[in-house]
Amino acid sequence: LDIIGGVEPRIADATRQELTDQRESLKLIASENYASLPTLMTMGTWFSDKYAEGTVGHRFYAGCQNVDTVESVAAEHARELFGAEYAYVQPHSGIDANLVAYWAILNKRIESPELERLGAKTVNDLSEEDWETLRKTFNSQRVMGMSLDAGGHLTHGFRHNISGKMFHQRSYGTDPESQLIDYDKLRADAKEFKPLILIAGYSAYPRRVNFAKMREIADEVGATLFVDMAHFAGLVAGKVLTGEENPIAYADVVASTTHKSLRGPRGGFVLSTAEYAPSIDKGCPMVLGGPLSHVMAAKAVAFAEARQESFQAYAQNVADNAQSLAEGLMRRGVKLVTGGTDNHLNLLDVTSSFGLTGRQAESALLDSGVVTNRNSIPNDPNGAWYTSGVRIGTPALTSRGFGADEFDTVAELIVDVLKNTTPVTASTGKPGKAKYALADGVAQRTKDASAEL
Ligand code: PLP
């Protein structure tokens, strides 16, 4: 930090402060974690200086022999860790990984057969007219993914994301009573809509998904089954999700981030069957430019860590701790979406439980050193900005060694803060959705109790 401070002291200070903040607060954001020191250190090397567009052994730049080693080792670990036929480790993030996956599926299902039909080798051989027709065909494809308020992700075909501009999307939600995926309704909707891609995966659904059922539905409608396991990749790597809950065994293509429950560097990757591999290998230049070689190296280190037996114990603890947290919250009267959890996250209905919006609850918790994020719940009455939910995940604090007892205390602290928070009426006289008052002394009492954990 002294070296950095010699160039730009404000960045050194912010970096130092970030370490303090991350150590002193209770980090409960479901998509965050603490990467290991080897993983963090691997990201800060001169591999950052190297350009390496292309794929292993087939680069558009000279001098990529060491990047080739890095990329091959990372891909080998990813294949072994997940039992996948093919792994592509270049995507810079989860959104990039999903884009690579979508375009690979379009390449395999639409572009390649069309080129063959027209007797063309590449798109360069197409006339302007045929190229225009092909582009329109891409644009008329359909995808089905989980709705945002049920826990889906923006990249699953939503209007405000490029995926929603590429595809026609229809979402599937959850059952209004149980708040669980209704596979029968999903099947009926898929039969009517006939998507090219059926997307499974989520950011805020506190339950496991049955990928065998998803596969059956995809097969019935001729869809490619794509799973976005960004959130629960750590539970797959750690063999908590096996059998029908293991996406690799059922999906054609699986994309993920590396930095959430998997505890790696920030980044993405794609796994697939051998059949889809040639299309995914076109990620660069289709969607990506030069890969982040330093991050690919850190992915290799994190994948190697996840292949150690201790990672399986970690992943099991993540899931067990989420249950302990759920029990602790429900025992203290908190309503959880779906009535519990069986993965790494809980979704608290703070409007029903405490009369607060998600925004008010998130802010009061942050004042008390408890870092969470507000999140929509199914059919959210407060909309996507203020929300009625708070999402709470266990991967980061489990990395700090928290177990059932500590998570029971975390539940106690959360409930103490939220019970002592009241909405403040807005200047319009209507109940405010953002302003809140936290009773005196609660923030400090929570911080003191957290410091003991
Ligand atoms: N997919 C899912 C399910 C996610 O939850 C996220 C991030 O929250 C992403 C994709 C995007 O990942 P990134 O932020 O690395 O682009």
Q: Which residue's C-alpha comes closest to atom 10 of ligand 1?
A: 94
Angle subtended at Cα 380 by Cα 379 and Cα 384, rounded to the nearest 5 degrees: 120
Q: Would you say 275 is a known binding-site residue?
A: yes
**3-state SS class at 336:** strand
Identity of the amino acid at 264? G
Q: What DSSP designation does 126 have? A: S
The reported pLDDT for the residue numbered 54 is: 96
Residue 431 reports pLDDT greater than 80: no
Mean pLDDT for 121-150 is 94
Residue ID of nearest Cα to ligand 1 atom 12:
94
Cα of 310 from ligand 1 centre, angstroms: 26
Q: Is 71 annotated as a binding residue?
A: no
With 90 as the cut, is the pLDDT of residue 428 above it?
no
Is-contact 345 393, C-beta < 8 A? yes
Rounded CA gap, 152 and 143, in Å?
13
Nearest residue (CA) to ligand 1, atom 5: 203
Q: How far is the CA of 248 from the centre of ligand 1 (A)?
A: 18
Q: Residue 148, annotated ligand binder?
A: yes
- Tokens in use for 88? 């592509």
Is 77 annotated to bind ligand? no
**What b-and-e string marks burial along 354-382, b requiring 16 or more CB atoms within 10 Å of the CB?**
bebbbbbbbbbbebbbbbbbbbbbbebeb
In this structure, which residue's CA is closest to atom 14 in ligand 1? 94
Q: How confident is the model at residue 107 (pLDDT cuts 50, 70, 90)?
A: very high
Ligand 1 centroid from CA 231, angstroms = 8
pLDDT greater than 80 at residue 429: no
375 Cβ below 6 A of ligand 1: no
| Cβ(93) – ligand 1 distance below 6 Å | yes
Is the Cβ–Cβ distance between 121 and 166 less than 8 Å?
Answer: no
Helix (H) or strand (E) holding 27: strand 26-27
At residue 426, does pLDDT exceed 90?
no
Which atom from ligand 1 is nearest to the alpha carbon of 95? 16
At 422, which helix (H) or strand (E)? strand 421-423
**H or E element that contains 4:** helix 2-7
Tokens (6 digits) for 49? 């200086």
**DSSP string covering 376-387:** --TT-TTHHHH-
The predicted model gives 278-297 an average pLDDT of: 96
* Structure token digits, residue 249: 């065994």
Residue nearest to atom 7 of ligand 1 (CA): 94
Going from the Cα of 222 to the center of ligand 1, the distance in angstroms, rounded, reads: 26
What's the sign of the alpha-carbon dihedral 444, 448, 449, 453? positive
> How far is Cα 155 from Cα 134, in angstroms, rounded to an integer?
23
153 annotated among ligand-binding-site residues: yes
Segment 377-401, tens digit of pLDDT: 999 999 999 999 999 999 999 999 9
- Does the beta carbon of 203 lie inside 6 Å of ligand 1? yes
**Sequence-distant (≥ 6) Cβ neighbours of residue 274 within 8 angstroms:** 85, 86
Percent of the chain scoring above 90 in pLDDT: 98
Per-residue pLDDT band for 430 (boundaries 50, 70, 90) equals confident
pLDDT of residue 136: 93
Atom in ligand 1 nearest the alpha carbon of residue 203:
5
DSSP states along 226-274: EEE-TTTHHHHHTTSS-GGG-GGGT-SEEEEESSSTT--SS-EEEEE-G
**Could you tell me the distance, in angstroms and rounded to a whole number, from the CA of residue 94 to the centre of ligand 1?**
5
Q: Which of 42, 98, 23 is nearest to 269 (CA)?
A: 98
How far is residue 89's CA from residue 81's CA, in Å, rounded to a whole number?
13
Helices H / strands E in the chain, number of each: 21, 16
Residue pLDDT, tens place only, 321-356 = 999 999 999 999 999 999 999 999 999 999 999 999
Mean pLDDT of 27-40: 98
CA of 393 to the centre of ligand 1 (A): 15
31 lines ligand 1 (CB under 6 A): yes
Instruction: Identify which of 215, 209, 217 has the alpha carbon closest to the alpha carbon of residue 174.
Output: 209
Helices (H), 8-151: 9-24, 37-43, 65-82, 94-106, 112-118, 128-139
Would you say the CB of residue 231 lies under 6 angstroms from ligand 1? yes
Confirm or reject: Cβ of 296 under 6 Å from ligand 1.
Answer: no
For residue 285, is the peptide bond before it cis, meaning its omega torsion is within 30 degrees of 0?
A: yes
